[in-house]
Structure 1
Amino acid sequence: MKHPHPAAMLAQAPHRAAFLPGMLFAILLLAAWSAELASRLLGVHAALAVPSSLAHGFLMLFGFFPLFMTGFLFTAGPRWLGVEPPSRLIFVGVPALMVTGLLLWLAGLWLGIAWTLTGHALYTLGFSGLTLTFACLLLASPQPDRRHACAVLAALLCGVLALLAGTYWLIFQDGQAWLWMRNLALWGFLLPVFLTVCHRMLPFFSANALPQYQPWRPGWLLAAMLTGSLGHGLLDGFSLPSWPLDAALAILFAYVSWRWRLAAALRVRLLGMLHLAFAWLPIGFGLYALNGWLASPRLALAALHAVTVGFFLTMMIAFVSRVTLGHSGQPLQAGPGLWRLYLAAHWLALTRVATEMLPGVWSGWLYGAAAMGWLLTLAAWGRAFMPSYWRRRADGKPG
């Protein structure tokens, strides 16, 4: 049997076209950041068009998460909404624009701000294409319950606003605009998308895997989680105390994790990966609440990385692994190798959070070690899953 060209296979399904560049960019950006940290430790400083810490903040938010979201939303979104999936031109073209934009964004760090601005414009165009396409799917849907899709669309619109704030930041080098970009991206876009998908999918997956499991996902819970995320971002953006809200969110997320039966889910490794990632949220918001009392910049960074590295990255690994296994015709099981990689990701997240609790002389080296550990972990994860995107399904089915 003649095997199709790998490029042709990438255009066979939305997850293929978006997940592969998502994995490649995750590895590339971690490699670049590891090199930057190493240069700092060695006292070597490269002259970049954008300060490295600010570029790092933008690229960690937009560099690969939206690519994975594109693949997931173009795959699962039509099923949620009972509509036809987007055309091949769209599900290939949207990630292609985002990838081109990111490459130019990165090149501009060394070649000049004009390159970065051009890349930013192309990336924004691709992201807006994702938002517009999802809005069209939502409008065409006959489903009576579209609350999850509506929440995702609202979050995507916040992502567009974040990119516009990023444009202002890049043009005028305005630090306040960078802060608004970060808050809109983190608390208005990324966390709401993750929470919405968790609210819809974790009880569903759990009911399919655990005996006598009663799915629990009330509408008020979704509203409370999304309101809490947006509320935290607004309070932080206006430099107002957020610790009462953060404490309430920490308690809420801890209760949800217990109610969704974290302990029982760990008996099924692939399901347990999702639940264990969610368990970082009460830790992250608990640290934010504690920081409201202690007012420590390093504790605030620990809380931030508990959410971004602890929750986002481990949940990304869990979801992308599950979608890839299912849509490549492989058994929905986390083998020993994947499970070890996943646990290593949690140890690295814990190390990154702990670096903010240690004296500066130690934290710099541990920070670099955690970044290098993430690079190796994501490289091993990519090596295991990337071939699935340019090969036929193992079960011979299309897709």
Structure 2
Amino acid sequence: MTSHNEYSGPALFSCGFRPFFLAAIVFALVVVPVWWLIWRGDVSLAASFGPTDWHIHEMVFGYAAAVVAGFLFTAVPNWTGRLPTRGWPLAALLAAWIEGRLVTAGFLGVGPLGILLIDQIFLLAVAAMITREIVAGRNWRNLKVLVPVTLLWLANIFFHVEAMTQGTADYGRRLGIALLVFLVLLIGGRILPSFTRNWLAQHGMSRLPVAFNRYDVVSLIFGAVALAAWVVAPYHPVCALLGAVAAVVHLVRLARWRGIATWRSPLLAMLHLAYLMVPLGFAAVAAAALGIIAPAGSVHVLGVGAVGGMTVAVMIRATMGHTGRNLVAGPALTAAFALVIGATVARVAGQAGVVGAFDGVDLSTALWTIAFGIVVCRIGPWLARPKAARKMPSAPKARPGDARGG
């Protein structure tokens, strides 16, 4: 007889990270090649957004929003001590996410206002379900996690309204990306020092990451101000100054976490490399404001490099940890992460004309698609199957004459 605490349904809906990480990686594999075909003029969508707005909207409020939901529905039960959301509520939430992707692409035949009303349901439901769990668990100090989720929901509404009234979501594009980058600053500042400290201590290293202190608070403030300036006035000299300062501040913040010592652990090193895209993105914001690089350069360093890189790294590690796999990335997943970073470099370098005969968009699309093809093949089955018993590393075999072997 099944107890109240046991779950007997499909493994896919046994924990929040499973359906939303799987949805995110499959969507990322499909949506970027579709955008490439649209950009080439080979495919058209009946969406109410213009092609560029649709592309950015779906990467921010489609792909990234699914990753955020998966992360939170896995983290919140750890904070509250309550059972995770699972079963039909997760299935219904996934259906809302899928419906948002279909309606935004123009497949359901409704007008712009109807698209807005349907598409906003997902993030609103995520915020409501997380609120319920935190309140039920009386975990009041983590109510602050609702702030970025609520802001992301409001940013999605603003994106739709701006596109309907102005013809393009100029501010909405940057606002959505900026909120995701700030989540990288918050979550990265929480998990990178912790994971790195644990790994370095296990390997007997005495120099450990600096604990969270006032410098981290200052860095978050500088990051938030620089992102706000980028959203509001991306071509103003003040934006260039704030972007340059934020780049230095966050480069120093990253250096304090001892990432250079993690090169022997690709799974950990990729988190540090993803965070490195943040100061590089701030530098790109400053360069774009001064007219040194095209504005799309800063968008892609922050969006593809920082957000894409961090979400891939977090999904890989979280999936391994929660499905019973050893925390070893292996060559395939390490290559997948490297390809995401390569897609960022190719996109920016293509605009600068330094990739030879290759078009930056073509090369970036190819690298991103291959990366997520690997990710889907490697962690997709883990997400859909029951948790495996973690295998312990086998002891080394004794050699003839070795004291251990006699």
- TM-score normalized by structure 2? 0.84
Match of 1:3? none
Residues 269, 334 of structure 1: 8 Å contact kept: yes
Matched, 1:194 2:184: yes
Tell me, in whole angstroms, the C-alpha distance in 1 between the residues paired with 2:286 and 2:374.
Answer: 35
Return the offset for 1:113: 5.5
Tell me, in whole angstroms, the C-alpha distance in 2 between the residues paired with 1:199 and 1:19.
Answer: 21
Match of 2:146? 153
Match of 2:19? 17
The residue identity in structure 1 corresponding to 2:61 is: F
Matched, 1:334 2:324: no
Q: Name the structure with the higher helix share.
A: 1
Match of 1:30? 32
Matched, 1:72 2:84: no
Tell me, in whole angstroms, the C-alpha distance in 1 between the residues paired with 2:43 and 2:320.
Answer: 42
Choose from 104, 113, 123 the match for 1:127.
123
Return the offset for 1:183: 3.1
Return the offset for 1:117: 4.7
Match of 1:277? 274
Return the offset for 1:236: 3.2
Tell me, in whole angstroms, the C-alpha distance in 2 between the residues paired with 1:249 and 1:369.
Answer: 30
User: 1:131 and 1:263, CA in 2 relative to 1: closer, same or farther beyond 3 A?
Assistant: same
Tell me, in whole angstroms, the C-alpha distance in 1 between the residues paired with 2:10 and 2:372.
Answer: 25
User: 1:228 and 1:351, CA in 2 relative to 1: closer, same or farther beyond 3 A?
Assistant: same
Q: What is the total number of aligned residue pairs between the two structures?
A: 376
The residue identity in structure 2 corresponding to 1:182 is: R
Match of 2:133? 137
Percent identity between the two aligned chains: 24
Superposed, 1:209-220 pairs within 5 Å as 209-211=199-201, 212=206, 214-220=208-214
The residue identity in structure 2 corresponding to 1:158 is: L
Residues 203, 217 of structure 1: 8 Å contact kept: yes
Return the offset for 1:89: 3.8
The residue identity in structure 2 corresponding to 1:127 is: L
The alignment partner of 2:100 has SS state of: helix
Matched, 1:185 2:176: yes
Tell me, in whole angstroms, the C-alpha distance in 1 between the residues paired with 2:134 and 2:219.
Answer: 22
Q: Deviations over 1:332-370 (max 9, x none)?
A: 10112211222222222211121221289967x221221
Return the offset for 1:140: 4.3
- TM-score normalized by structure 1? 0.85
Measured on the aligned residues, the alpha-carbon RMSD in Å equals: 2.8
User: 1:81 and 1:206, CA in 2 relative to 1: closer, same or farther beyond 3 A?
Assistant: farther
Match of 1:56? 55
Match of 1:242? 239
Superposed, 1:348-359 pairs within 5 Å as 348-358=343-353
Residues 131, 156 of structure 1: 8 Å contact kept: yes
Return the offset for 1:105: 1.5
User: 1:15 and 1:30, CA in 2 relative to 1: closer, same or farther beyond 3 A?
Assistant: same
Residues 74, 91 of structure 1: 8 Å contact kept: no
Structure 2: 5+ residue stretches without partners: 1-7, 392-406
Residues 162, 180 of structure 1: 8 Å contact kept: no
User: 1:344 and 1:168, CA in 2 relative to 1: closer, same or farther beyond 3 A?
Assistant: closer
Residues 98, 122 of structure 1: 8 Å contact kept: no
The alignment partner of 2:120 has SS state of: helix
